[in-house]
Structure 1
Amino acid sequence: MSHPERGMQIAKNLKVIDWLKTEILDQIANLFKGLHHANQHLILDSLASLVVVSYVLARRVGISFRELDQAVVSKLREHIREGHQLENWYGDLSSLEQHMNKR
C-alpha cells in the first residue's frame, strides 16, 4: 500500500472511530429515554446497539472480539471476587459469566 493510500486508510479509520463514539452517546440517550418511558423495545434496541458498537469500536482500535470477550469475563471474575453489590444482591455477575462461558 502506498503512503497516500495508507494515509487515507488512517483518516477513514479515525472518522469511523469518531462516528462510533457519537453512536455510543446516541444509544445511551435512547436507553435513558426508553427507561424513562418504560419502553421495553427501545431499551432492548439501545442495549443491543451499545453491545454491537462496543465490539466494533474494540476492533477499530486493534482489539479482537475474542480479546474483548476475555476481558469481559476477567472483569466479571474480578467483581465477583471483590464482592460487587450486584453479585451479592442478585448474582447478576456470576449469571453473566456463566452465559459468556457457554458461548
Structure 2
Amino acid sequence: MSRPDRSVHIAKSVKVIDWLKTELIDQLANLFKGLHYANQTLIVDSLASLITAVYVLARRLGLSFRELDQAVVKNLQEHVEEGHQLEEWYQDLSHLEKYIDR
C-alpha cells in the first residue's frame, strides 16, 4: 500500500483543525447552556471537552502537550506578578500553577 499523497495529508490536517475549531465553539455553547440552567454535569463535561480540544488542537498545530503546559505556567506566573484581579481576590492563578506543578 502506498503512502497517501502529501496534498491529501495536508487536506486531512486542515479538515481536522477546522473540526476542532467547531468543537471548541460547540463546547463553549454547551458551557453557556450549563451555566444558564445551573447544570453542573453539563458545565463539567463542557469544560473537560474544551480542555481536551485545546490540547489536541495544539498538537495538530505542531505543539507538544509539554510546550502548552509550559506556556500556561508562564502565563500564570506573569499574571501573578502583574497582580491580576483573580489572583488578588482569590489566588486562583497561583493555586492553578501549584496544581499543574504537581
TM class by smaller structure: over 0.9
Structure 1 position 44, deviation (Å): 0.2
Q: Which residue is 1:14 aligned to?
A: 14
Does residue 83 of the first structure (1) align with residue 47 of the second (2)? no
Does residue 101 of the first structure (1) align with residue 98 of the second (2)? no
The separation in 2 between residues aligned to 1:83 and 1:64, in whole angstroms, is 29
Q: Report the identity percentage.
A: 67
| TM-score with structure 1 setting the length | 0.95
Structure 1 residue runs of 5 or longer lacking an equivalent are: none
Q: Which residue is 1:74 aligned to?
A: 74
The separation in 2 between residues aligned to 1:60 and 1:52, in whole angstroms, is 12
Q: Which residue is 1:50 aligned to?
A: 50
SS in 2 for 1:62: coil
Structure 1 position 5, deviation (Å): 1.4
* Length, aligned pairs only: 101
Cα displacement string for residues 42-83 of structure 1 (whole angstroms, at most 9, x for unaligned residues): 000000000000000000000100000000000000000000
Structure 2 residue runs of 5 or longer lacking an equivalent are: none
| TM-score with structure 2 setting the length | 0.96
Structure 1 position 6, deviation (Å): 1.1
Letter in 2 for 1:21: K
Structure 1 position 39, deviation (Å): 0.3
